[in-house]
Amino acid sequence: MQNCSSNVTISSGRLSAVGGLIGSSIGAVSNSYAMGSVTLKNANAASYAGGLVGATGCFDGWCGTIASSYSTAAVTAPGGGTIGGLVGSDTTSGGISNAYWDTTTSGVTNPGQGAGTPANDPGITGLTTAQLQANLPPGFDPAVWGEDPGVNGGLPYLLANPPQ
């Protein structure tokens, strides 16, 4: 999945993987972003919520990757579960690069919680809204991404798929 965006409210219950764009992924996600909110309700330790992807992992030789993507989605789990600013659970071991989450809007301010698990997942960086609005983040190609104070609240947007 590439060049995708989402601005929705997602809510899910126990034994779930829920994300602002994708629930669970073993494929490639690139040049994508999610806004809105993600809520994991009445969950247990086997449930995950992330601003962009709920869970990414490997199956039958295929491993999920995330590149040049971000999330501003608010992420909560009032009844339990594991949350991350970008991804709830990442078992790909190094499959994420140039990925960001908004520490201002997400409610996830711990710099080590880009992924709910594992902590300090490499390739994920927390930025404030002001930082995301100031310049395209590292790894975002200006031929793919645009940034304009009058478009998308000044946040990066996809040139081929601009917000309405």
Q: What is the DSSP string of 84-109?
A: ESSEEEE-SSS-EEEEEEETTTSS--
**Dist. CA 31–CA 115, nearest whole Å:** 18
**153 domain-assigned:** no
Please compute the mean of the pLDDT values over residues 55-70 and round it to a whole number. 90
- The string of pLDDT tens digits covering residues 144-164 is 999 999 999 999 999 998 887
Query: How much is the average pLDDT of 112-133?
Result: 96
In a domain, 69, yes or no: yes
User: Is 90 exceeded by the pLDDT of residue 57?
Assistant: no
Higher pLDDT, residue 59 or 71: 71
The model's pTM: 0.93
Range of the domain at 104: 5-128
pLDDT band at 15 (very low <50, low <70, confident <90, very high): low
Decide if 84 is inside a domain. Answer: yes
Is residue 17, in this structure, part of any structural domain at all?
yes
For residue 162, being part of any structural domain is answered with no
How far apart CA 65 and CA 76 sit, in angstroms, is 23
How many domains does the structure of the chain reveal?
Answer: 1
Edge-to-edge, what's the strand order for the sheet holding 53-56?
22-25, 53-56, 87-90, 115-117
Extract the runs of DSSP E, i.e. beta strands, from 17-144.
17-19, 22-25, 28-30, 33-40, 48-50, 53-56, 58-59, 62-63, 65-71, 74-76, 82-84, 87-90, 96-102, 115-117, 124-127
In this prediction, residue 124 carries a pLDDT of: 97
Mean pLDDT, residues 94-117 taken together: 95
Give a yes or no: residue 136 inside a domain.
no
pLDDT of residue 41 exceeding 90, the answer is no
CA–CA separation, 117 vs 96, rounded Å? 13
Task: Classify residue 11: in a domain, yes or no.
Answer: yes
**Where does the pLDDT of residue 43 fall: very low under 50, low under 70, confident under 90, or very high at 90 and above?**
low
pLDDT at 98 over 70: yes
